[in-house]
Structure 1
Amino acid sequence: MTGEFSLIDRFFKQRQAQRKDVQLGIGDDCAIVKVPEQVRLAISTDTMVSGTHFLPDANPAWVAHKALASNLSDLASMGATPAWCSLALTLPETDTEWLSQFCDAFFELASYYNIQLIGGDTTRGPLSITLTVHGFVPEDQVLTRQGAKVGDWIYVTGTLGDSKAGLELILSGEQMVHPSGAELEKRHYLSSPRVLAGQALLKLASSAIDISDGLAADVQHILECSGVGASIDVSCLPVSKELLQYLGDDIVKAQQYALTSGEEYELCFTVSEGNKGSLESALSHCDTPLTCIGQIRPQGQWELHDKGKPLAWNLTGYDHFRREK
């Protein structure tokens, strides 16, 4: 395997313009950065492992996009502005073609969101990617999972369920056979982190989370942290025409996919009645679809319904430690 330092020099150094708040980046034992005044630093770390989060023969450019986009989504859910990241890359062997495609896609997305790679590590072993991202939030405006109040409205961005369908097609090898397969495969890997939407929600949302484990599971984190309950109208869940085509226009199944699909990286957030009217104008520059799917209820109440008709669906979210059968 080519030496660590030659890999860093060839694939990672001098790939981006230097941010003014980075005093020392890649090439030393530590990076040195400057945090602006009157902000807080938001930090998140995620790991992607070959065979768990992506197949070993997956497109390396798509793997890079997924790795960084999923971390950017964590920043988006807090309303944070991306700043810096570090990357720990474990490789079974040196594959220059794989690295070239991976790095090209990684730095393209990083530059788009003005997040600079400032350090990390490379080592030999089973293929895995660990990213730590840092972002800035105003010290008195950060979004968290706490803060939802009874009467608040529950919203989601984008459409839901596509990632689950894309994963099923990837695992079955039928993504190029099904009419919607190619598009659903892309949606599994190539999510669009809602960074601008998260920033726009800083003064409007009472709580927020990104959808990584499935809406039904992730909304529970908001309810637990905020000490409230919720009522969700499944008829309002936003599903794509591609998902419906994949499921043979079975709307009930599409709704269940929307509730359980992991790795969507859309936002779920709550907004008070008083702020509801400001959402459209506040997010008008984000080109982000919004859908109201329910309302916060008193603690202990949890209801799924279809236009008022109660549903007894027993649904679970996405779990990396539970293998699909």
Structure 2
Amino acid sequence: MGEFDLIKRFFTRPSTQVLGVGDDCALLAPTAGMQWAVSSDMLVEGRHFLSTVAPERLGHKALAVNLSDLAACGATPRAFTLALALPRIDEAFLDGFARGLFALADAHGIELVGGDTTAGPLNICITVFGEVPPGQALLRSGAQTGDDVFVSGTLGDARLALEVFRGTLSLLGDGFDSVRRAMELPQPRVALGQALRGLASSAVDVSDGMLGDLGHILQRSGVGATVQADSLPRSALLQTLPIELQRQFGLAGGDDYELVFTAPESTRAAVEAAAAGVGVAVTRVGRIDAEPGLRLTDAQGQVLPARYGSFDHFKS
């Protein structure tokens, strides 16, 4: 099977776009009055995913991490491209990968409109295109002193799964299946991002660890924050671990693909109602301060040492 046969068999579907897969360019027609929101993410085997991941789950995650970026901007997904390097043509792998990829694409009404394939170490690069009304995109630069800090879903289970794979911790049966699912099948909070337009003052998705990603908001907004570490939302399974591991995994574990966002205190009830309306739990975990820097406290209000670092591809 050659490159073009591979594309035709696994990645070509009927498209409602002007031009989709099969031409030199995809021609996208933006909705009148909307702005494009565009983001790219790369997944490299051994760096972003393990070789043991099921192809269907890998296809899901490859698109999910990109949709999570659109969620953080409050954008509506429209289309995506796929660049895929493969060490060899493995039809069983490609069938599962495409099935997982398109299942999530169909769930969000998003189409594959182009890309590239080549031989090489397994590497997946997706670019997503979304739309957002002018002036309504959620940015990292809008946090204001006195804003609440919220987190969606729960944090830390993906890191727990990674530590089980590394052999530093042990889980059996359903417990491991649960955290492995969190690691391999993240659910992008697209509907929540859209529901927060006009309510949230800033947002970012949690890919490298909650504290590190919140730090991007603080830097871009020129503010600080106080976070109550033990108020972070955690699964019942994570809460069985020693408190220090709970904090480490929740604050700096990464790979959660939840949203951390800020909103004025006056919108607190509206934020909680908007989240409930799309079926996503949100938890208030802190407050934006005028004083620069990020401060952590425990459940009793005692200051915790700032020793939780986020993931860095060139330092880890």
Q: Normalization by structure 2: what TM-score?
A: 0.96
1:174-228 Cα shifts (integer Å, max 9, x gaps) = 8774652111111101111000000000110000000011011111100000000
CA contact (8 A) 1:90 1:122 kept: yes
> Cα deviations across residues 82-123 of structure 1 (Å, max 9, x unaligned)?
000000010000000000000011101100001100001111
> Contact between 2:80 and 2:128, CA under 8 Å: does it hold in 1?
yes
**8 Å contact 1:166–1:175 — kept in the other structure?**
no
Of 278, 286, 289, 2:281 maps to 289
Q: Of 204, 223, 226, which residue of structure 1 is paired with 2:221?
A: 226
The aligned residue for residue 215 of structure 1 is: 210
Residue 309 of structure 2 is matched in structure 1 by: 316
Q: For the residues of structure 2 that align with 1:233 and 1:310, how far apart are their CA atoms? A: 9
Give the Cα–Cα distance (whole angstroms) in 2 for the partners of residues 216 and 294 of structure 1. 11
| Residue equivalent to 2:245 | 253
User: Aligned residue for 1:277?
Assistant: 269
Of 52-61 and 89-98, more deviation after overlay is shown by: 52-61
Which residue identity does 2:9 align to in structure 1?
R
Residue aligned with 1:24, SS: coil
Match of 1:244 in 2: 239
% identity of equivalent residues: 43
2:282 and 2:176 map into 1 onto residues whose CA distance is: 25
Q: CA contact under 8 A between 1:174 and 1:181: conserved in structure 2?
A: no
Q: Which moved more, 1:306-315 or 1:199-208?
A: 306-315
Q: Is the 8 A contact 1:227 1:299 kept in 2?
A: no
> Paired residue for 1:160?
155
Kindly indicate whether the alpha-carbon contact (under 8 Å) linking 1:91 and 1:123 is maintained by their aligned counterparts in 2. yes
- Asked if structure 2 preserves the Cα contact closer than 8 Å seen for 1:236 and 1:293, the reply is yes
Map residues 18-167 of structure 1 onto 2, 5 A cutoff: 18-19=15-16, 22-167=17-162
Counterpart CA distance in 2 for 1:293 and 1:80 is 24
Shift of 1:54: 1.2
Q: 2:296 aligns with which of 296, 299, 304?
A: 304
Alpha-carbon deviation of 1:251? 2.5
2-structure distance, mates of 1:282, 1:244: 27
| C-alpha spacing 1:177/1:321, structure 2 compared with 1 (3 Å) | farther
Confirm or deny: 8 A CA contact 1:175 1:182 kept in the other structure. no
- Following superposition, the deviation at residue 57 of structure 1 comes to 3.1
Q: Which residue of 2 aligns with 1:13?
A: 12
Structure 1, unmatched stretches of 5+, are none
Higher mean alpha-carbon deviation, 4-13 vs 312-321, is at 312-321
Q: Is the CA contact (8 Å cut-off) linking 1:170 and 1:185 kept in structure 2? A: no
Amino acid corresponding to residue 201 of structure 2 in structure 1: S
Question: Could you give the per-residue CA deviations for residues 247-300 of structure 1, whole angstroms, max 9, x where no partner exists?
Answer: 2xx123202210001111000000101111211222222110110000000132
Map of 1:172 onto structure 2: 167
Q: Deviations over 1:212-247 (max 9, x none)?
A: 1101111110000000000001121111112223x2
RMSD across aligned positions (CA):
1.5
SS in 1 for 2:51: coil
Q: Which deviates more from structure 2 when the two are superposed, residues 151-160 or residues 230-239?
A: 230-239
CA distance in 1, matches of 2:157, 2:279: 19
Number of aligned residue pairs: 315
Alpha carbons of 1:90 and 1:286: their partners in 2 closer, same or farther (altered >3 Å)?
Answer: same
